[in-house]
Chains A and B, each alone.
Chain A
Amino acid sequence: DAKTTQPNSMESNEEEPVHLPCNHSTISGTDYIHWYRQLPSQGPEYVIHGLTSNVNNRMASLAIAEDRKSSTLILHRATLRDAAVYYCILRDVGTGNQFYFGTGTSLTVIP
């Protein structure tokens, strides 16, 4: 599986935008970029995913670099409830292999 690299931790002030980066320089053409997050004491939850084009949903936006070697998850207005570990995961749509979670980015939101 292609690897992803994320910062271990980030901080953001409440009600400000947050940009969570992810590097995936060995991404293949059929790898989708998935983001999950895990709130304290809970199971992971789906945030967003994309292949080439930028994606928006009610939770976040996903900006994908033109060469697809990096992506950024954007939370437009951080709230205290967004404090979680955010995981960027690549998954080959052709093989449907399992999600392999790395260490993710631990986001702290400062009130």
Chain B
Amino acid sequence: NAGVMQNPRHLVRRRGQEARLRCSPMKGHSHVYWYRQLPEEGLKFMVYLQKENIIDESGMPKERFSAEFPKEGPSILRIQQVVRGDSAAYFCASSQGQVNGYTFGSGTRLTVV
């Protein structure tokens, strides 16, 4: 079992470009969660998705950020028109059900230059 796979591990984008972060959950997990960790800060919940549905996006910034978890393929966190403040580590986690524990990926470290 490969665990939660996130790619890329490191992503560099210029201001104004788009960033796409991918997350493949563990086999058998249909619940995906995205977290953001700014430098020297804790993890902040962003969004919770099940297949084809957004369940809770209360932690997502209102503009430029979107997430999807299609029927086939990985979950995608998309950041449009990136700014320097978007530089952070983005972690994805998956679970088997809503009450199960999470398994986290190793994260994608986004740097906006």
A interface residues, Cβ below 8 angstroms from B = 34, 36, 38, 42-46, 49, 87, 93, 96, 98-104
Q: Is B104 an interface residue (CB 8 A)?
A: yes
Instruction: Give Cα A42 to B105, complex, Å.
Output: 8
Q: How many Å from the CB of B41 to the closest CB on chain A?
A: 8
Q: Is the CB of A101 within 8 A of B42?
A: yes
- Which residues on A sit within 8 Å (CB–CB) of B106? 42-43
- Which residues on B sit within 8 Å (CB–CB) of A43? 4, 91, 93, 104-107
Q: Is the CB of A102 within 8 A of B42?
A: yes
Q: Choose one: B4, B35, B44, B99; the contact of A93 (CB below 8 Å).
A: B99
**Contacts A/B (CB < 8 Å), 13 sampled:** A42-B106, A43-B91, A43-B104, A43-B106, A44-B43, A44-B91, A44-B93, A44-B104, A46-B101, A49-B101, A96-B98, A98-B45, A98-B48
B interface residues, Cβ below 8 angstroms from A = 4, 33, 35, 42-45, 48, 56, 91, 93, 97-99, 101-107
Q: Is the CB of A45 within 8 A of B104?
A: yes
Instruction: Give Cα A40 to B52, complex, Å.
Output: 33
- Which residues on B sit within 8 Å (CB–CB) of A104? 42
Instruction: Give Cα A104 to B10, complex, Å.
Output: 25
Instruction: Give Cα A104 to B93, complex, Å.
Output: 18
Nearest chain A residue, comparing its CB with the CB of B109 = A41
Instruction: Give Cα A34 to B35, complex, Å.
Output: 17
- Which residues on A sit within 8 Å (CB–CB) of B43? 38, 44, 101
5 other A-B residue contacts (CB within 8 Å) besides A46-B102, A99-B102, A101-B44: A36-B102, A42-B107, A43-B104, A43-B106, A44-B91
Nearest chain B residue, comparing its CB with the CB of A91 = B99
- Which residues on B sit within 8 Å (CB–CB) of A103? 42
